[in-house]
Amino acid sequence: MKIKGTFLDEISHDIPHQNWGRVEWDRDFSYMKQIGINTVILIRSGYRKWLTYPSDVLISKEKAYTPPVDLVQMFLELSEKHQMDFYFGLYDSGRYWVNGDFQQESDLNKHVIEEVWSKYGKMSAFKGWYISQECSRKTGAIIDMYRGLGEHCKAVSGNLTTLISPYIDGIKNISQYQKETSRDLGVSLKKHEQDWSEIFDGIKNAIDIVAFQDGHISFDELDDFLLVNKQMADKYGIRSWTNSETFDRDMPIKFLPIKWEKLLMKLKAAERVGMEQAITFEFSHFMSPQSAYLQAGHLYNRYKEYLNQLI
């Protein structure tokens, strides 16, 4: 099981920013490429008022701040240079869908999709869309939102690939603003399967790939949950990637790079159930040789040793 893609954590939600310029990003794409990563996924194009590109839509409608740099343009250019596929992450209002009003989130994002496609659609690295609204349960009108947004992405862009990356409502589904790292009860396997079977059934024609995050459950539960995820996706004709998180959810400092042994266990579990490939959240903080967290560079080296063993 190889890591073939990574999120780009801009706009970051909860991971302190590294303050990289183009030189550092260029170098990071090289580091990614050297270990076989061929896909970069913008985690979100905007969060509340913070934007990755100067969006007329969001600056006018949401009074968002004009960003000093057009990161979408830069990431697309670097993707072309390094021959990577770029997936564009939709806008996350941080409010229109969290409290139930999914319609407003969808409507706004449809304008974003159109704007983005007209601005950047010509660039050859633009290969897919990431529906950035993360969920773990069949909440409110989540099916309608995923389907509506997925269909709109496809309609606008000539059927480019669409991706979601939900999480499991497991024992480690704990706010990063709480000090605890786990809780007593998570969702049962059965309830998880029930919820996601319904969701997959509703979105199967709009979403091509699902990449469940693998960090919210205990290591003992990995095989059970990953197997169910794979089987459900297969049943509804959705491709399965695993989003193998490279940060450690078990530590008081939220968050630093994961211990290699844990990442290895998660990759092997994904392999056992037949996932197509792994992606990760995310390379640049938690796995890059130039990360501000020096543990990340060592993780990179451990992963390279693992790759060499696979050959």
Residues that bind a copy of itself (CB under 8 A): 12, 14-21, 24, 49-50, 65, 67-68, 175-181, 219-220, 248, 251-261, 264-265, 291-295, 298-299, 301-302, 305
**Which of 21/158 has CB closer to a copy of itself?**
21
For the CB of residue 298, give the shortest distance to a copy of itself in the complex, in Å.
4
Alpha carbon distance 281, 37 (integer Å): 13
For the CB of residue 63, give the shortest distance to a copy of itself in the complex, in Å.
8
For the CB of residue 243, give the shortest distance to a copy of itself in the complex, in Å.
20
**Which of 99/175 has CB closer to a copy of itself?**
175
Task: Quickly list DSSP for the chain.
Answer: --EEEEEE--S-SSS------HHHHHHHHHHHHHTT--EEEES-SEETTEESS--HHHHHHS-PPPPSS-HHHHHHHHHHHHT-EEEEEPEE-SSTTTTS-HHHHHHHHHHHHHHHHHHHTTSTTEEEEE-----SS--TTHHHHHHHHHHHHHHHHTS-EEEE------TT---TTSS----S----HHHHHHHHHHHHHHHTTT--EEEEESSSS-GGGHHHHHHHHHHHHHHTT-EEEEE---B-TTSSSTT-BPPHHHHHHHHHHHHHTT-SEEEES-HHHHT-TT-SSHHHHHHHHHHHHHHHHH-
**Which of 155/292 has CB closer to a copy of itself?**
292
For the CB of residue 211, give the shortest distance to a copy of itself in the complex, in Å.
24
For the CB of residue 304, give the shortest distance to a copy of itself in the complex, in Å.
10
Whether residue 171 is preceded by a cis peptide bond, meaning omega within 30 degrees of 0, is: no
For the CB of residue 305, give the shortest distance to a copy of itself in the complex, in Å.
7
For the CB of residue 94, give the shortest distance to a copy of itself in the complex, in Å.
12
On whether the CB atoms of residues 279 and 42 are closer than 8 A, the answer is no
**Which of 167/200 has CB closer to a copy of itself?**
167
**Which of 2/302 has CB closer to a copy of itself?**
302
**Which of 138/259 has CB closer to a copy of itself?**
259
**Which of 15/209 has CB closer to a copy of itself?**
15
